[in-house]
Amino acid sequence: MSSSYLAFFAFLAAVLVALPIPWHWRARNIPTLSIMGWLLVTNLIYGVNVIVWSGNVLDPIPIWCDITNRIRIGSQLAIPASIMCVCRALEAIAANRVVHIDRKTRQRWMIFDFVMCFILPLVFMALQYIVAGHRYDIIEELGCQPYTYQSIAGIFIVYFPPLLCSIVAMVLAAMAFYHFFRHRINFTAHLQAANPALTARRYFRLMGMALVVIFWNTSLNAVNMVVNVSTGLRPWISWENVHSDWLRVDLYPLALLPPQFVTSLYVYWFAIPISSYIVFIFFGLGEEAQKEYKRVWAWFRRVVLRRRDLPKGTTSLPVYAPRYPSKATSSFNSAFEPSKDSGMSTHMSSSTLALPDKVGNVYAMHDLPVLSHSPTTPTDLSTSPSSTRFSLSSVAHAHIMPPPGVAAPRPFSFPSASPTETYISDASRFSHHA
């Protein structure tokens, strides 16, 4: 397989598994942080190794191999141990042994999780040195690999602890499902009482992630142990015999390796990226993740792009919406109320039109009259009260204050010829323009 594809898979897995880290960090969820952290670092190591050892088996950076091999050995135990901690917490909540997670209980759990997820892998790194027959191996395209002296001691020190953590995690997950089916009627209420931040959806998301990852890693660890043991175990004679040539570095071009062995190497290599994709599917596509993505995008628009978010209900274009007239304009609008009678003369009625105060993101609304007409008889006009009558000249000379920052509109007047006809046409044109 091309090294460019391998590097792409590794770095993409590193980016995806890093996305859910911020909100899990705020929640102080040590087991999930441990899973994501170990997967992130291991994927970065895989990507760098593929780039450096693409098509060669040189040894340009020995110190890099020494450090990264220790980290990879620690991740072999850290990931199953972290999943075991997740399953332990879920089983304790489902079994109703935890009525309410108070501060003291949370601190005790955090200490236990920290020891299992970080301290125990460090001890595992140191113990692997006991069965390290030589410094490390370098395989073409895959880079430096830790070496284990295949013996009874190597099985119990290197292969058995991760497998044991995986088995314990599966047992705890099965017990959690058993307790869930027993208390499924009031299970949601019990979750809220134990931990208000843990909903039923989050609970099953954690359980699903733990089960998928643990089955995947357990299968690979078991197959890896069987393959290594099937070639035969070497006798453990003494410490001096095992470490007699410890500084040796073995180099393996792919052309010299059996095809089946190369296939097993690639399958075991893909275990870490695939585990990262599984974690992202469960934690990076949920409701909390979508809220975090929106928050990050809003921050990016505000800080990097220097764009201010529009208030809700507004757009970048002017919006015209009618509203009821305010008390300040009631006296003005009362003169424009339509008459109930019918005739040939003209009365004015009014409604309101919302116009933008200025071009921008915030709009202030101003009431402007929209003119319309209703015919009345001359007799009704003469008998109507003077407060409801007006002349054409008063309408022509009425001033409507423009919004702040907008130039005053050009005044209009009615021509002397045929005032009623011209008045109606101007009023209708004004309404059409608005």
Burial class (CB in 10 A: 0-12, 13-18, 19+), 345: middle
- The structural domains of the chain, with segments of one domain joined by +, span 3-304, 327-433
Of 209, 174, 218, the C-alpha closest to 77 is 218
CB neighbour list of residue 187: distance below 8 Å, 6 or more residues apart: 94, 180, 200
Distance CA 355, CA 399 (A): 17
| pLDDT tens track, the chain, 434 positions | 678 889 999 999 999 999 888 877 877 889 999 999 999 999 999 999 999 999 899 999 999 999 999 999 999 999 999 999 999 988 888 877 665 567 787 888 889 999 999 999 999 999 999 999 899 999 999 999 999 998 999 999 999 999 999 999 999 988 988 888 777 666 666 666 666 666 777 778 888 888 888 888 888 888 888 877 877 888 888 888 999 888 999 999 999 999 988 988 898 899 999 999 999 988 877 777 677 777 777 777 777 777 765 555 555 555 555 555 554 444 444 444 444 444 444 444 444 444 444 444 444 444 444 444 444 444 444 454 554 444 444 444 444 555 555 555 554 444 444 444 444 444 444 444 44
CB atoms within 10 A of CB 113: 24
Name the DSSP letter for residue 303.
Answer: I
Superfamily of domain 3-304: Rhodopsin 7-helix transmembrane proteins (1.20.1070.10)
CB atoms within 10 A of CB 70: 18
Distance CA 165, CA 77 (A): 8
